[in-house]
Structure formats: C-alpha cells, structure tokens
Amino acid sequence: MPIPVIRTSAWIKVRNSKIHGKGVFAAKRIPRGTRVIEYLGGRITHAEADARHDDHDPNDNHTFLFIVDKKTVIDAGVGGNDARFINHSCDDNCESVIQERRVFIETTRVIEKGEELGYDYKIGREKDDPPNVDEIFACRCGSPRCRGTMLWPAKDPRKKKKAKTRAKTRTKTQSRSTSSRRAKASRR
C-alpha cells in the first residue's frame, strides 16, 4: 500500500507571517505526532535544480527546494502545496520526515490554534559557500532560542581549529538544499 498523498490539510491555514512572507498556522489544536501535510512539488535532480535556478540572485535565499536525498530535490515552485509556506524555526514544533523518498511534515508537540508551524530547515554547509552565507540565511524566527541562522551547524566547524564533535542531529530531519540560494521561487 502506497502512503497516502496529503495535498491539502484541514489542520492548517496559510496567512501572512511575522517571521517571513506567508506562514502556515494551526486552524485548530493539533495533537503531537500528527502528520499534517506532505511537501509536494516537482521531483528533480540536483543538477536540474541548479540549472533551473542558476540565474538567481545569490543573496536571495527565497526558495521552495527541499533535498530528499542525493538524487532527488523537490521543487515546490512547481505544483507545490501549502507545505512550501512553512517557515524555518529554531524552536520548532514540527519536523520533516522522509518516508519512501517522500517528505511529510509532522508535529513534535501539541500546537494550539493560531500558532505558526515551523521546522528546523537545517540547511547544510557546503565548501563553495560565499563568505556571507550566514547573512543570506540569517534567521529571524524571534524565538529566545534562535541560533541566528538557518544553517546547520550554527557555526562553520572548518573555521575553528578545534571543532568539537556535535551531537547527532535527528536523522529524520532533512535539510534544504544549499543550492536553494540559487533558487528562484519567492514567497511573495
């Protein structure tokens, strides 16, 4: 049995967010562990994602790309649903779960009606990152626990001589593509 597609969701509604552009909010109280919506869009390769967004302003991180694995990127700029509007948060109440190479957004705690949904994008660092990469991916989630960046880890370990080994990140959480900084889709 294939996993059911969740294109729309009665749990949520999209409206303007204080964090960034549009956001996704709880339409009613959502229990912990609820599979709210699937992250849908065109399934493309990394090379296709790069080519598609090559002309993009490198200082603009607006994007609807989500890395599924080494082979596949979902571009929600094409046939995407409301999942693409879920903002990053350092104090997340959701997580992205990869199952059978598809992406689902699930709650990690109870979310009260009217609260904004967010998950940690954990955008990976890459060798060819520009020097101002932390600026490009600065986080303004407003949480007291905000680490100031959507990138993960928060600080570039290569810049430190003695980088401590970090605790393992949750394996379920997948970061967005760093090629997203070349992405074209905007949330406006």
Distance, in Å, from the CA atom of 8 to the CA atom of 82, rounded to the nearest integer, reads 7
- Please select the residue that binds Zn ion; options are 146, 152, 173, 184, rule is CB under 5 A: 146
Distance, in Å, from the CA atom of 76 to the CA atom of 64, rounded to the nearest integer, reads 5
Residue 139 interacting with Zn ion (CB under 5 A):
yes
**Residue closer to Zn ion, measured from CB, 26 or 141:** 141
Q: In sequence order, what are the residues at sequence separation of 6 or more whose Cβ sits closer than 8 angstroms to the Cβ of residue 155?
A: none
Q: What one-character DSSP code corresponds to residue 11?
A: T
**Residue closer to Zn ion, measured from CB, 73 or 139:** 139
Stretch that binds Zn ion, among 2-10, 32-40, 115-123, 140-148 (CB under 5 A): 140-148
Residue 141 interacting with Zn ion (CB under 5 A):
yes
Separation of CA 15 from chain center? 18
Distance, in Å, from the CA atom of 58 to the CA atom of 179, rounded to the nearest integer, reads 10
Stretch that binds Zn ion, among 29-37, 96-104, 125-133, 139-147 (CB under 5 A): 139-147
* Residue 170 Cβ vs Zn ion, minimum distance, rounded to whole Å: 17
Residue 36 interacting with Zn ion (CB under 5 A):
no
Distance, in Å, from the CA atom of 174 to the CA atom of 81, rounded to the nearest integer, reads 18
How far is it between the farthest Cα atoms of the chain?
Answer: 50
**Residue closer to Zn ion, measured from CB, 68 or 154:** 154
How many of the chain's residues bind Zn ion (CB under 5 A)? 4
**Residue closer to Zn ion, measured from CB, 81 or 89:** 89
Q: What one-character DSSP code corresponds to residue 83?
A: G
* Residue 25 Cβ vs Zn ion, minimum distance, rounded to whole Å: 18
Report 62-101 residues binding Zn ion (CB under 5 A): 90
* Residue 79 Cβ vs Zn ion, minimum distance, rounded to whole Å: 29
CA-derived radius of gyration, the chain: 16
Q: Per DSSP, what are the bridge partners of residue 105?
A: 37, 96
Q: Which residues bind Zn ion (CB under 5 A)?
A: 90, 139, 141, 146
